Structure 1
Amino acid sequence: MLKLRDYQERAEEAVFDYWAEESGNPLVVKATGTGKSLTMASLIKRLVSNWPDMRVMVATHVAELIEQNYLELLGVWPFAPAGIYSAGLNRRDAKAQIIFAGIQTVHNKAAKIGHIDVLLVDECHLIPMADNTMYRRFIDALLAINPDMKIVGLTATPFRLDSGRLDEGDDALFDRVVFEYGIADGIRDGYLCRLFSLPTATEYDLRGVGKLGGDYKQNALQAAVDKDDTTKSAVAETVAKGADRRSWLLFCSGVDHAFHVRDEIRAHGITCETITGETPKDERRRILEDFKAYRIRAVTNNSVLTTGFNHKGVDLIAAMRPTKSAALYIQMMGRGTRPLYAPGMPLDTVEQRLAAIAAGPKPNCLVLDFAKLVDEHGPVDMVEPKTPGKGDGEAPIKICPQEIPDASGKHGCGEKLHASVRVCPGCGYQFPEPEKKVTATASGAPILSTDEAKWRPVTSRRFDFHEGKGDKPPSVKVSYMCGLTAIREWLCPQHQGFAKSKADRWWMQHGGQRPFPKSVLEWLERQSELLTTDEISVKPDGRYWTVIDHKPGAELAHADNDKERQADNDNVTQISDQDWRDMQDVPF
């Protein structure tokens, strides 16, 4: 018999603890790949075992999920009094005690089904806010039969595009989140595979694409994205960056776009198929079975494989479908988080699971974010929705960082702030200046807020005078251009302590002469002494980058051409680690 993981047991207990105190509708939030079906099966068994007359229904929107949830219950309870009501599965067990139903089939069958005590809705973020929809009409009809019916929602994304969080607002169907286990939790505990992203040079020009219902108009979006030269470029990047990847899943901006991407992938000699909403059931099943068996390397789709599709082997996701929907973004990325553990390795502890993932055939999943979804919504483990209401709503929140100092050396307080805030009202932390939006730039935004540091080539570097706030001294703003992406760092030659020693170390590393500059103006006047910066090691900090290390070049950034002055690299290594420790202003 299947055994619940610790967090699955806690999720089940949270529902019953909530009902012991309140009589409302609880919401359980669990990241894709963390076993919502098993949690739901155990909860159903407990309900019906303890209350033998209780009738339970599980409603969802796709046949794959209906069948998956049904089989999960039979795995926990082989002789469960359960049935299926779904036209797609050719079953109409209306009188079963436990019914797994497709909303498209049962939305007008409430009278035939009759009294239901507990309704569980899988992927409940798909329930629209509007009253005149299949879900809402069906729920209202069931409540008319049994006003005391309880509703339990399960989802990986507790918010919609058009109306914010599922547990907020006057018309919210759910009262509150009783348990949450996110992507970062699953990765930390070794139950999910890590996502990581590489910069992409191909970008879509969405100027002039209108919006409808809060997201891009479908036809206009596809027309903007589905261009031959852009498709060739994006596919070429995918082929190059995915050379060592076995299973590619590509999310496209429409049916035509999905087929065109498929054809271009095939032109590179790679097996590829397409699934759309019009793909016949048998063909869809055949394609997915071949994909899971690695007989097909790539599958394109027009965002129909965002839920109800599980293939642990997916190790590359290409996001070619721009969207304003944070929920859709998270669902797409969730297709790559299921792990493949190395066979035979123990999985009892966090350390063992992490080691088994690292040693397995899929140590991580590569995300190629052509659609700039990270720029739009932030790292996938830090997404926040807009609040309910009309219009575009607020931008995603950000956290005042406690670990990374600002230009003056101050650490933040951890407060949640609006994305537009430049100075934290709680502690005075100064955020870096916002990046200017430039079309046709290379994207290198991190898919996870905890992504590891990566080396990025630097194409140019610029120093600017950065005025200090209040009585704080000014600093040197260093702008590194990595392709056409600007990454910034602040150096503080006029400060004291660590900030000053960091500036001195940077100056010495890049071949600058002693004595070190004592002011920003002196730094700018003497910048001709410095070597170029060839590469920087960067690590994500929320939606921004933090520079961790540098690799100086072999040439002067501002050489005197009249005298054909050559770069003098001797002083780069003249100072030893002991010399640094002996310097009074270095605290280490």
Structure 2
Amino acid sequence: MSLSLRPYQRAAIEALYDYFAGNTGNPLVVLPTGTGKSVVIGGFIREAIAAYADTRVLVLTHVKELIQQNFLALLRAWPEAPAGIYSAGLSRRDIRAQVLFAGIQSIHRHARQVQQCDLVLIDEAHLLGRSDSGMYRSFLAQLNDINGGLLKVVGFTATPYRLDSGLLHEGKDRLFTDIAFEVPVLEMIQQGYLCPVVPKHTETQLDVGGVGTRGGEFIAKDLEAAVDRDEVTRAAVQEIVQHGEGRGSWLVFCSGVAHARHVRDAIREHGIACETVTGDTPAPERDGILSAFKAGRLRCVTNANVLTTGFDAPGTDLIALLRPTKSVGLYVQMVGRGTRLAEGKDDCLVLDFAGNTARHGPIDKVDGRKKEPAGDGEAPIKVCPECQTINHASVRRCIACDHEFPPPEVKVAAKAASNALLSIQEQAAWCEVTGVRYARHEKPGKPASLRVTYDCGISAHSEWVCFEHTGYPRDKALSWWRRRAANLPPPATVDEALAATSTLRRPIAIQLRAAGQYTEIVATRFV
């Protein structure tokens, strides 16, 4: 049985073949959230076993939900797969399975029980921080020795940098050596495989200038003390409710457990059904909340540090960031929860109260390299009002007299920041659509396409929809059709499309950017 792969998924697998044909390192495959890493993993496994029937594969990750998701994804595509699970959290130890999906915490001491292994695939590789590399390194070293030094290791991630510091394939303690394949998030959005994320001005902006940093990230306790203020929470929630009108699934990232609950309570005061998920939420309760959210029975979920990885709710169409972070990876992962496609979903609105977009830039242009401290500017200090001793900004008590400093102040900015979530939004403008025209377009030597012309006052802008092409153009055409006629089967020809244009949703605005002497349509907004 062959797996159905999109062109870029096929290209990812081919890139791994090419890599191992000429290299001996541990490569990374970088695919944005929502583009089907589990499908690529399943396809690679299936083909490896088809080529060499006794190939033994181990798929590792940190999170039990991901272990189960990847296992089930393989079985859906290949029901006869010789697959099993090794995870204490899932109460399964199928150590002899030919394809073994395992949690690193459960299996890292049991390399000798695993024995033969040809291929190790590490999912959500960005979760492998510096403190985790020893666990992986020891386990993989033992496994490599057992298998005569022939073990191949591949990492899969949407963000090729550690959540705590630096690029995954750089640095002396790196486990991965190269990026074998990467497809940009902007390309996936433009080709219709992901939906756009749209930033909106927020009047409330959190000022965390007095919060200290440890290990490249805000100190968690100090951050929550700074952010979890009733007046700020109420101001932010007021904006969430205002912007969320007409949007069905809101996901809110908070700065701590107490903060998540306080935000939940403030949202409930507006009559909105809202629940909270944290690391302390019992598994049955958590599963019930998330199931209701995914099914559309629950409008809003607030969370603290648990829904950034392995959480799939395609209908999410509003994300509120009340969690400032210095981690590029965490920022991209949070925004990435809103990029999946869903029926009736045109885009995902992102309300960044935390200044993360200004801090890191558009998600398709972020730099995951560890930044060195700047040499200029004021030092991060504070002066004790009791004894005038100079202290580091992060301390809670004076080092000389033990005076307790108040939590860092949170300020409501007088003017909200305006930042693009995608680089194209830095130079693109929205135009109101006053009319839409459809026509058949012929080009010598090429299949026909549907020319769509949008009248915007005295200007007109066109795009070409390629129903009769193959590969990316055809896939993009199908996505274009789904957004306008989700209940109608997509046409196979331009003539079929023209016959159905009267049933298509009409956009109210298009977003344009300059492309040489022409303009390019990069997004569409519907009623």
Shift of 1:275: 0.6
1:278-328 deviation per Cα after TM superposition (whole angstroms, max 9, x unaligned): 111111111111001111000000021001110110000001100000000
Shift of 1:102: 1.2
Distance 1:9 1:393, change over 3 A: farther
Q: How many residues align?
A: 398
| Residue 450 (structure 1) aligns with | 424
Q: What residue identity is the alignment partner of 1:274?
A: T
Q: What residue identity is the alignment partner of 1:250?
A: V
Q: SS of 2:209's equivalent?
A: coil
Residue 363 (structure 1) aligned with residue 346 (structure 2): yes
Match of 2:244 among 231, 242, 245: 242
Q: What residue identity is the alignment partner of 2:183?
A: Y
1:113-152 equivalences under 5 Å are 113-130=114-131, 133-146=134-147, 147-152=149-154
Percent identity of paired positions between Structure 1 and Structure 2: 52
Counterparts of 1:199 and 1:394, CA distance in 2: 32
1:328-371 deviation per Cα after TM superposition (whole angstroms, max 9, x unaligned): 01111110000124xxxxxxxxxxxxxxxxxxx11010000001
Question: Any conservation in 1 of the 2:31–2:158 contact (CA below 8 Å)?
Answer: yes
1:106-147 deviation per Cα after TM superposition (whole angstroms, max 9, x unaligned): 122222222321110001011123476433333233233233
Question: Any conservation in 1 of the 2:319–2:350 contact (CA below 8 Å)?
Answer: yes
Distance 1:280 1:162, change over 3 A: closer
Q: SS of 2:287's equivalent?
A: helix
1:190-229 equivalences under 5 Å are 190-229=192-231
Identify unmatched segments of 5+ residues in structure 1: 342-360, 396-436, 456-537, 542-588
Q: SS of 1:88's equivalent?
A: coil
1:456-508 deviation per Cα after TM superposition (whole angstroms, max 9, x unaligned): xxxxxxxxxxxxxxxxxxxxxxxxxxxxxxxxxxxxxxxxxxxxxxxxxxxxx
Residue 311 (structure 1) aligned with residue 326 (structure 2): no
Question: Any conservation in 1 of the 2:203–2:413 contact (CA below 8 Å)?
Answer: no
Counterparts of 2:120 and 2:258, CA distance in 1: 38
Question: Any conservation in 2 of the 1:159–1:327 contact (CA below 8 Å)?
Answer: yes
1:227-266 equivalences under 5 Å are 227-266=229-268
| Residue 68 (structure 1) aligns with | 69
| Residue 160 (structure 2) aligns with | 158
Counterparts of 2:179 and 2:359, CA distance in 1: 25
Question: Any conservation in 2 of the 1:214–1:392 contact (CA below 8 Å)?
Answer: no
Q: SS of 2:240's equivalent?
A: helix
Q: What residue identity is the alignment partner of 2:421?
A: I
| Residue 441 (structure 1) aligns with | 415
Q: SS of 1:260's equivalent?
A: helix
Q: SS of 1:308's equivalent?
A: coil
| Residue 294 (structure 2) aligns with | 292
Counterparts of 1:282 and 1:392, CA distance in 2: 44
Counterparts of 1:392 and 1:259, CA distance in 2: 34
Question: Any conservation in 2 of the 1:320–1:370 contact (CA below 8 Å)?
Answer: yes
Identify unmatched segments of 5+ residues in structure 2: 377-410, 432-510, 515-527
Distance 1:301 1:439, change over 3 A: same
TM-score under structure 1 normalisation?
0.65
Q: What residue identity is the alignment partner of 2:415?
A: T
1:317-356 equivalences under 5 Å are 317-341=319-343
Shift of 1:161: 4.2
Distance 1:540 1:383, change over 3 A: farther
| Residue 376 (structure 1) aligns with | 359
Distance 1:277 1:130, change over 3 A: closer
Larger radius of gyration: 1
Question: Any conservation in 1 of the 2:67–2:103 contact (CA below 8 Å)?
Answer: yes
Shift of 1:2: 4.5
| Residue 385 (structure 1) aligns with | 368
Residue 53 (structure 1) aligned with residue 54 (structure 2): yes
Counterparts of 1:394 and 1:145, CA distance in 2: 49
Distance 1:165 1:45, change over 3 A: same
Distance 1:199 1:220, change over 3 A: same
Residue 18 (structure 1) aligned with residue 1 (structure 2): no
Q: SS of 1:318's equivalent?
A: strand
| Residue 268 (structure 1) aligns with | 270
Counterparts of 2:271 and 2:231, CA distance in 1: 19
| Residue 104 (structure 2) aligns with | 103
Q: What residue identity is the alignment partner of 1:85?
A: Y
1:182-204 deviation per Cα after TM superposition (whole angstroms, max 9, x unaligned): 21011011000000011001111
TM-score under structure 2 normalisation?
0.72
1:176-222 deviation per Cα after TM superposition (whole angstroms, max 9, x unaligned): 11111121011011000000011001111213211110000000000
Shift of 1:386: 2.0
Question: Any conservation in 1 of the 2:60–2:102 contact (CA below 8 Å)?
Answer: yes
What root-mean-square deviation, in Å, do the aligned CA atoms of Structure 1 and Structure 2 show?
Answer: 2.4
Q: What residue identity is the alignment partner of 2:367?
A: E
Counterparts of 1:225 and 1:144, CA distance in 2: 49
Counterparts of 1:263 and 1:144, CA distance in 2: 54
